[in-house]
Amino acid sequence: LWKQAYYNASNCEALVSCAAELQGLVLANTSLAARPTLMANLLEAVTEVKEFIATFSERSVPFVDPETQLLALPDLEQFVSARARAVLASLVAQEVAWRQSSLQTGPHQVIRNPEVRLWWWRSFGSALLQTYGSLGTEEITWERFWSSFPKGLEEGLEYTFRFGAETAMRKLRVSAMKTPHRSAVDRAVPCYAVPLCASGFDIVTAFIHVITLKERVFSRDALLLQSKPQNLLVGVCSETASSVAQVIYNKHTKELFQAAISRGNPNLVTPVELEFSLPRNINLAQQCQILLNWENSYKTLSRSAGRMGSGPRSTGSTLSAVAEEYRPVVNTLPEVTQLLLGQERHCQGLLDALQPDQGQGVPQVVSLCGAPGAGKVNIAVMAAETLFSSTLWCNAYFADMERVETGVECAFQFMAAFAVTADTSDTCNLMSWIGRWSAYPIGLIVHCPPDMTARLLKHVTHNVEKMIKTHPLLQVVLCASEPINIPGIDCVTYELEDLGVDNVAQILTSIAPQIGDRAQELAEACGGRPLAAHMVGTALASGTAQLEEVLQAVASPAVAHLHPLDRCIRYIVSTLPDEFLHALLLLSLFPGSFERRAAAELLGMTSTALSKTRSLLRILTTCNLLQYSSTSERYIMHASVRACCRSLARELGLTYESARVTFIEYYTKYLAKAAALLAAQAPVSAMRLFDREHQNIHEIVRWASQGPPEEALPFYSDILWESMPLLSGRLDLLQREVFCKAVYEQAVEQKDRVAQGRALWQLGSVLGDQGQFKNAEVPLRDALAILESELGSDHLDIAKACNGLAVVLFRLHQYQGAQDLYARAYDIQSSKLGPEDKEVATTMNNTAGLLKAMGKLADAEVVYRTVLDIREKELGPDHVDVAASLNNIAVLLKTSGQFEEAEEMYTRSIAIKEKALGPNHPQVALSLNNLAALLRKMSKGEQAEKLYMRSLSIREEALGPDHPQVAASYVNLAGLLKSENRLMEALPYFNKALDIRERAYGPDHPDVSAAQISLAELLKDLGKFEEAERLCRSAINILEKSVGEDDVNVAAALSLQATCLQGLGKATEAEPLCRRALNIREQAYGAESPNVATALTALADVLKEMSSFEEAEALARRSLVIRERSFGSDDPLTATSLNNLALLLKDANHLEEAETMCRKCIDI
């Protein structure tokens, strides 16, 4: 268009057309689609340009040269450039402001690298910023990631990922060539600036198509603009950007990059995973190139060098020389100080233990033993860095068990070490991710504190054993005070000896040369501990301590009972000025690492005094009382220093109650922030935030049972009510129960009724999660009554309490009570939040599930479809919640026999989930499983089996082979095989399902009883009545404890047990079981329910065997009447009752009536 455009006052149509094309470019720009406000601004600018050009014929100078009648290009350029500058400058200002607050908003806040965080927000999160209350998950499919990521690489990574106000405003140079028309050229602008920022790159390019060019060619009749976008910006096609983009598009390295980044579920990529894999302060483009090139070089080099880690270290040196330039940064290990004098030999000794000479076996576990303060972690991390840099380890990870008390915390610590997030302590996701890297040797360092209990040590060794069996090339270094051996695992022990007086003396002399000949004497006082030597030497060098004072202090009889290390720490602490001593004792409240802002809160310093906090922390770090990691920007106190400070505070009678309240308040707010992300459907980001502060959060939970200050109760109450959905998964059931009871006791003591109600409600929820539904009902009812009396009947918290109680009543089959509670919750939520709020939709969804269980299928369908309408309107037709509603409707349609429509719903649900989550996500597996069940019902067994197998494969890959969802797939597949009479094929699947559930839930969970009953039914069909009857007894015991003796599930198990006893010829033992089952069902369903008809038939069958024909006949006739009323006279179930009655009449010698019944049955 430009080529054909004549720049004179009488011909502007081509220019207007070109501006229209520019408008189309803006509209077609996919990255702008996520930024509607920005697109509107740009379209407004384009429209203004179009209108401006359209008026050229009416204008004179300065836009048209009077001599040549050509349009004065510089004026047009200046106009468009100014307009673009205004738009982009506004964008820069917005993003600078965003950068300052980005850590406070949205799931991307977990990304510490500001470049990566800003890129992620621009690519996937900016459209949701203004509606954060309904923020969707920023956990996207890899398909969506690749649609954005390589494009950014191709268009110039160095500009796309180098953000910040100082780099956003780049100048675009445009050269002008000499032309015959000097009057126009003289007025041209040879060089001008268009503000350029990363997210505006494609926007600027669109403008450049019109207003800039690499070459200008002037002719007498026309001005030819030859636009070459690839040459417009300096460095756009830089070697780095081109090579990385080229690598990314390669299928193999694309999969490699994906595997390296993704943790847990391989189908989704999250901000957490990028943050973990791409360190802070490193250009993203360069890091991607390094990561990919290093992985490829590693594979190539490892093939040439043989099996990695099995040869002498000379192999590693060769590899290191070739691969050093491609080595990525390790950001999974803690930052450590330089090795102290004398520790080099220990580091080398550990390296020799991990990588022995050729011909010796490579150990899987090395137990690194040494006393506190000996530098175990320091030495292990240095050794790991060495192995990694020499490519003998592909990567290295670190797990800290400091202040970990339970198996649940232990499991989460291991998952956090590998950045694998999960909402339960099940390590299936971790094992799945480790298994995908089983071809690469990796290392893991585990810090086990001296006070670790035997029970916790068992959890640590159990998890290490599982990881090594999953990943045979994994090497683990266990840093502990005593040797640790794991049976069945190749373990070696490397013990750290004291450095010796001579080495400690050299350390002291190197730090404080003025001590001279007294170094040996002081070294003996330090007990050979490098930490003590470093602290004392620094104090002497800085002048805060005097040599004679040190020697006298550590030799004092008052501290003779202490270890030399503790004596030195006490002395150094005592030399601090009062302000710093007070601060140090306060900071010892932190059980683990902490951020500067948290320290400022605890020390009572406002946010404006952060510089003062920084100075104070720097001084304590200089004294070696704290350590600082620039990688994580966190401080940590050595365990020995912390123990000394806490002991000193107790001796001084300091409880620091107000500081503890501040501590609890700070982490209550932090926890609420993470819980808000969980509620906003960003679970991985929420869990990552929790993991960062898990030690401090667990500390405040422990304090609850240790008599916390009275002022802390409101914060504990808020945690129970607002943050437990996130916290509950991080605590085991006993911890949760103890926490709830402790808060309840405080609330009773302080007469805080609201806190009492909240604690009781959470206690009931804990009991429900344990499967003790009967025991859970009482505290939940009490909680509802208390909250209603304190808050009023229409408070939103009442709706939450109603929903919780309704869930328990539903599991107890008290359907009417549950329905009343759901209705009440709906009324409160709809009046307070509006009828189309997502909370209202959730309550309606639960109500529909209840109506379905009650057999009110038509009513349930109406509610389910209303929920679907709400979700489609609020979330869009392709949201996963819409897919969930479609799935629920399909299940209902299957129950009511509308198979074709159900299949359509299932298919649409699967399509949405595959698009949103990827084809191999567990949610997709769930819908595949449901569709398979439908196909089974439609007698399409072959198709159903394929879908069951695909669902099983997805779950095993995504969740690991020991996940409860895998057990569910086994049960479903086994059920299909059983229905096709392939009983022996089904048997191993039922056994596997039971084994998984027992390990996942423990032996007394209701889900275990369900697996036992399924297996018992199969064993009954195989004629193994004795084994089946034993399983039934076990299942009944579990159910009676969890749901009560009168639950309908107990009735079903009793009926099955009676059938097994019949098979063993024990009809007299079966009779009372059948009568009890009948009584339970009559009470639960009413005397005329079809479920009662089934129990009547079973009891009649037993009585027939006992020759009690008269009573058996009466029961069989009653069963027939119920089924005729419920299903009609032509239903197959009615035919079954006719047949059963005919057999009874035959045995009672009533042959004529028996024949009549048989003929009716045959007719049906």
CATH code, domain with 475: 3.40.50.300
Mark whether 639 and 713 lie in a shared domain: no
Classify residue 259 as exposed, middle or buried by CB count within 10 Å of its CB (0-12, 13-18, 19+). Answer: middle
Q: Are 1144 and 1104 in contact (CB under 8 A)?
A: yes
Mark whether 630 and 725 lie in a shared domain: no
Mark whether 65 and 148 lie in a shared domain: yes
Residue in this structure with the two tokens 């009110």, named with its chain if needed: 856
% of the chain beyond a pLDDT of 90: 26
In a domain, residue 1093? The reply is no
Mark whether 553 and 476 lie in a shared domain: no
Question: From CA 582, how far away is CA 256, in angstroms rounded?
Answer: 51
Question: From CA 532, how far away is CA 373, in angstroms rounded?
Answer: 8
pLDDT at 911: 92
Which residues are paired to 491 by β-bridges? 365
Picking from 657, 688, 707, the residue at the C-terminal end of a domain is 657
Question: From CA 1088, how far away is CA 1078, in angstroms rounded?
Answer: 12
pLDDT at 703: 92
pLDDT at 333: 78
Picking from 634, 657, 680, the residue at the C-terminal end of a domain is 657
Residue predicted with more confidence, 77 or 714: 714
CA 784 to chain centre: 32
Which residues are paired to 269 by β-bridges? 140
What average pLDDT does this structure show over 336-355?
76
Residue predicted with more confidence, 140 or 416: 416
What's the per-residue H, E or C state across 412-433? HHHHHHCCCCCCCCCCHHHHHH
Mark whether 752 and 787 lie in a shared domain: yes
pLDDT band at 135 (very low <50, low <70, confident <90, very high): very low
In a domain, residue 1043? The reply is no
Mark whether 370 and 412 lie in a shared domain: yes
In a domain, residue 26? The reply is yes
Which residue, 573, 594, 592, 589, is CA-closest to 658? 589
Which residue range is the domain that position 850 belongs to? 672-870
pLDDT band at 667 (very low <50, low <70, confident <90, very high): very high
pLDDT band at 171 (very low <50, low <70, confident <90, very high): very low
Question: From CA 754, how far away is CA 1028, in angstroms rounded?
Answer: 49
Q: Quote the tokens at residue 79.
A: 């106009």
In a domain, residue 294? The reply is no
Note the pLDDT tens digit of each residue in 20-32: 666 666 666 655 6
pLDDT at 19: 63
Mean of all residue pLDDT scores within the chain: 76
1096 CB-near residues (< 8 Å, 6+ apart): 1078, 1115, 1116, 1118, 1119, 1122
Containing H/E element for 629?
strand 627-629
pLDDT at 478: 95
Task: Give the side-chain half-sphere CA count within 13 A for 526.
Answer: 31
Mark whether 217 and 329 lie in a shared domain: no
Report if pTM > 0.75: no
Residue 213 has pLDDT above 50, yes or no: no
Question: From CA 959, how far away is CA 576, in angstroms rounded?
Answer: 52
Residue predicted with more confidence, 52 or 631: 631
In a domain, residue 232? The reply is yes
What average pLDDT does this structure show over 38-46?
67
Picking from 870, 894, 927, the residue at the C-terminal end of a domain is 870
Total tally of structural domains belonging to the chain? 4
In a domain, residue 865? The reply is yes
Residue 535 has pLDDT above 60, yes or no: yes
Residue 17 has pLDDT above 70, yes or no: no
What average pLDDT does this structure show over 72-84?
49
In a domain, residue 1130? The reply is no
Question: From CA 830, how far away is CA 828, in angstroms rounded?
Answer: 6
What average pLDDT does this structure show over 325-350?
65
Question: From CA 1012, how far away is CA 1053, in angstroms rounded?
Answer: 10
Residue 1104 has pLDDT above 80, yes or no: yes
Mark whether 140 and 45 lie in a shared domain: yes
Mark whether 370 and 456 lie in a shared domain: yes
Residue predicted with more confidence, 361 or 647: 647
Residue 57 has pLDDT above 80, yes or no: no
Question: From CA 798, how far away is CA 784, in angstroms rounded?
Answer: 7
Residue 178 has pLDDT above 80, yes or no: no
Note the pLDDT tens digit of each residue in 500-516: 778 788 888 888 888 88
Which residue, 46, 80, 88, is CA-closest to 63? 80
pLDDT at 795: 93
615: domain CATH number is 1.10.10
Mark whether 367 and 225 lie in a shared domain: no
Mark whether 443 and 378 lie in a shared domain: yes
Mark whether 561 and 678 lie in a shared domain: no
Which range is most confident: 316-330, 767-781, 858-872? 858-872
Containing H/E element for 734?
helix 733-750
* Angle, alpha carbons 592-598-603 (nearest 5°): 105
Q: Left (φ > 0), alpha (ψ -120 to 50) or beta: where does 189 sit?
A: beta
pLDDT at 417: 86
Which residues are paired to 396 by β-bridges? 443
In a domain, residue 1117? The reply is no
What average pLDDT does this structure show over 948-966?
85
683: domain CATH number is 1.25.40.10
User: Comparing 369-373, 647-651, 775-779, 1119-1123, which segment has the lowest mean pLDDT?
Assistant: 369-373
Residue 402 has pLDDT above 80, yes or no: yes
